[in-house]
Amino acid sequence: MENLAVVGVGYVGLVTGACFADLGNRVVALDINAERIEGLRRGVMPIYEPGLEELVARNVAAGRLSFTTSYEEALRGADFAFIAVGTPGGAEGEADLQHVRQSAEAIARTMQAPLIIVNKSTVPVGTGDWVADIIRANQRTPIPFSVVSNPEFLREGSAIADFMNPARNVLGSTDTRAAEKVAQLHLPLRAPILITDLRTAEMVKYASNAFLATKISFINEIANICEALGADIKEVATGMGYDPRITRHFLEAGLGYGGSCFPKDVKALAYMAAEQGRHPQLLQAVMDINEDRRIQLIEKVRMLVGDLPGKVVGLLGLTFKPNTDDLREAPALDVAQRLIAAGAQVRAYDPVGMLRAKELLPALETAESPYALAEGADVLVVCTEWNEFKQLDLARIKELLRHPGVVDGRNIYDPKVMARLGFQYLGFGQGYGADGEPLAMAGSEKQARS
């Protein structure tokens, strides 16, 4: 059993701490937010993540996991200190490292014995060296330490499974022995471990996320072409995905990516490249295509309802993806803002994200169920592919709508089924009938678009 301190109890820190405790380690999770720590001591999770509440409760009861606001308490007897704090993006894409700096300074002032400091936060290339400089500059007396980069690859909504069943663990350090000690922590996971230098490990994280974001923007670009030529993007993606060099993952056309990682990390990587005199034109195209998806969705709404002032638009889903309450860079919020600015009345339903969304966008109305959302609306817009939306009584939805319009930003419905039910339906890249209309509209009565 090893003793770990984890600084930060957000998505990454809390999942990391709880999972390492479940592997048999003693973990003290620290956060300077006293309200959040007090809530965790009462069993109240600060985030929504399937299975997390049970995992935390089990390890707290076993005495392996505890919470504190004190660096002294967290570092007492610790062999490793994981930094897992937020690194939000700035206006130009630069990462805001103030929380990393504060954590490093506090660790330096508090540590009483040799320590391996592990950067778990997503940080710009070179941050590991910078953290080492901060530690040295703020130590009261010289104490040996090492810095290891261990980027996280957790997906919100499946973070626990991702931690316990990783595709790989990446470790970077100038101290190979320290990296090997961190590797020992990960051996029970039985996954490949790559040990490299600090900057390469930091780059692996950015390059991975940028590549996945590129796949999403690529398939959305192909979806645009499919719409123009009459091909079906879902079948195209399936055909592409059978190729083991490509795979089916991240080939879902629709509203584009959002969340706390892809938008921030692609922008940050482009910023880092530009700062070094490079021209990251592919990364810029990825971001431009993603931005265009929201604009195209608004245009599809106009295709169905005409001018937006006075129209009631219902949004199915607000979080950036299902099985999370995270609204950071959520496409739905961007869409809602654009619709409201255009004069539409916008209401929304989301299983877990509505209260926070109202705080962020007070003009947004909310509904207690998808059916309440549909009642009297001119059009429904699918923004998040929650499973419950796939199981709706669509015939009932049609009866509740003022006009039977659906814009499917996640392609969760079958156009032919929607046409048979009498909907005016627009997805993304799903092909056209012989008359030039989308397949779903070819089979249903066409509504005037004025």
pLDDT in tens, the chain (450 residues): 899 999 999 999 999 999 999 999 999 999 999 999 999 999 999 999 999 999 999 999 999 999 999 999 999 999 999 999 999 988 888 999 999 999 999 999 999 999 999 999 999 999 999 999 999 999 999 999 999 999 999 999 999 999 999 999 999 999 999 999 999 999 999 999 999 999 999 999 999 999 999 999 999 999 999 999 989 999 999 999 999 999 999 999 999 999 989 999 999 999 999 999 999 999 999 999 999 999 999 999 999 999 999 999 999 999 999 999 999 999 999 999 999 999 999 999 999 999 999 999 999 999 999 999 999 999 999 999 999 999 999 999 999 999 999 999 999 999 999 999 999 999 999 875 434 465 544 444 444 344
| Same structural domain, 244 and 192 | no
Q: What is the distance between the alpha carbons of residues 262 and 269, in angstroms, rounded to a whole number? A: 10
**Strands 115-119 and 80-83: what pairing?**
parallel
Conformational region of residue 277, where left means phi above 0, alpha means psi within -120 to 50, and beta covers everything else: left
Q: Please give the pLDDT value at position 394.
A: 98
CB proximity list for 341: less than 8 A, separation 6 or greater: none
Residues 80 and 35 grouped into a single domain: yes
At 184-197, the pLDDT tens digits run: 999 999 999 999 99
Q: How many helices (H) and strands (E) does the chain have?
A: 19, 14
> In this structure, are 149 and 171 located in the same domain?
yes
Residue 115's SS3 state is strand
Same domain, 129 and 251: no
Q: Could you tell me the two tokens for 23?
A: 């592997």
* Same domain, yes or no: 35 and 157: yes
Measured CA to CA, the distance from residue 258 to residue 327 in angstroms comes to 9
Asked if 362 contacts 329 with a C-beta cutoff of 8 angstroms, the reply is no
Among 282, 326, 366, CA closest to 159: 326
DSSP 127-188: HHHHHHHHHHHH-SS---EEEEE----PPTTSHHHHHHS-S-EEEE-S-HHHHHHHHHHHGG
188 and 203 fall within a common domain: no
The total of structural domains in the chain comes to 2
How confident is the model at residue 438, as a pLDDT? 55
* b/e 275-292 (16+ beta carbons within 10 angstroms → b): eeeeebeebeebbebbee
CA pair distance 98, 348, nearest whole angstrom: 35
Query: Token pair 């799903």 is at which residue?
Result: 430
Q: Do 153 and 227 fall within a single domain?
A: no
- State residue 101's pLDDT score: 97
C-alpha to C-alpha distances, 194 to 132, 180, 182, 207, 329, nearest whole angstrom = 21, 10, 11, 15, 31
Domain boundary at 172, 196, 220, which?
196
Q: Which structural domain range is residue 254 located in?
A: 197-450
Could you tell me the CATH number of the domain that includes residue 147? 3.40.50.720
What is d(CA 329, CA 331) in angstroms, rounded to the nearest whole number?
6
Separation between Cα atoms, residue 101 and residue 244, nearest integer Å: 42
Residue-wise pLDDT tens digits, 329-354:
999 999 999 999 999 999 999 999 99
CA distance 32 to 28: 13
261 has catalytic annotation: yes
Judge contact between 336 and 310, C-beta under 8 A: no
Regarding whether 354 and 247 lie in a shared domain, the answer is yes
Give the per-residue pLDDT at 439.
53
Burial of 5 (0-12, 13-18, 19+ CB in 10 A): buried
Nearest to 394 by CA among 365, 425, 433, 352: 425
Q: Judge contact between 280 and 274, C-beta under 8 A.
A: yes
240 exposure class (CB count in 10 Å sphere: 0-12, 13-18, 19+):
middle
* Chain length of the chain: 450
Considering the domain architecture, whether residues 257 and 309 belong to the same structural domain is answered as yes
Q: Do 339 and 293 fall into the same domain?
A: yes
In the prediction, which pLDDT does 91 show? Answer: 82
Query: Of 136, 164, 196, at which residue does a domain stop?
Result: 196
What's the confidence (pLDDT) of residue 157?
92
Q: Do 158 and 235 reside in the same domain of the chain?
A: no
The whole-number pLDDT of residue 442 equals 45
Gyration radius from the chain CA atoms? 24
- Token readout for 88 is 């939000």
Among candidate residues 19, 226, 261, 383, the one labeled active-site is 261
The amino acid that residue 135 corresponds to is: I
Of 137, 163, 196, the position where a domain reaches its end is 196
CA distances in angstroms from 266 to 112, 171, 209, 263, 408, listed in the order given = 38, 21, 7, 6, 26
412 and 361 fall within a common domain: yes
Mark 130-168 as b/e (b = at least 16 C-beta within 10 Å).
bbbebbeebeeeeeebbbbbbbbbbebbbbbebbeebee
Measure CA 368 to chain center: 25
Per-residue confidence (pLDDT) for residue 29, from 0 to 100: 98
